[in-house]
Amino acid sequence: MTGKRDKPVPPEAISPESSSPVCYIDEADDSYMGFASKAEIAAFLAELAEAERLGQPADEMLRRMLPRIRDDHLHRELSARLKPQPGT
């Protein structure tokens, strides 16, 4: 009885192993990265609208939330509502 032996595989046919696992961070939810979730943004926008309706200052609310807004368009829109600070 003779055993079948595997043929040697040439080095160029072997794919190199990755030194680290694949990263799927681009598929993660924004809240995982510290950005506001859609629900948080919706609640914030409702709170902001109510404050503006009542004539309350909203600049501090905006300054707290802006770093957590990932959407560039929404970030620009909300930034435009900020009153310029003295000295800037």
pTM over the 0.75 mark: no
Task: Tell me if 3 sits within 8 A of 10, measured CB to CB.
Answer: no
44-50-55-57 Cα dihedral, nearest 10 degrees: -10
pLDDT tens digit string along 18-70? Answer: 677 788 877 888 888 899 999 999 999 999 999 999 999 999 999 999 999 99
Task: Tell me if 44 sits within 8 A of 58, measured CB to CB.
Answer: no
Alpha carbon 61 to its chain centroid, in Å, reads 20
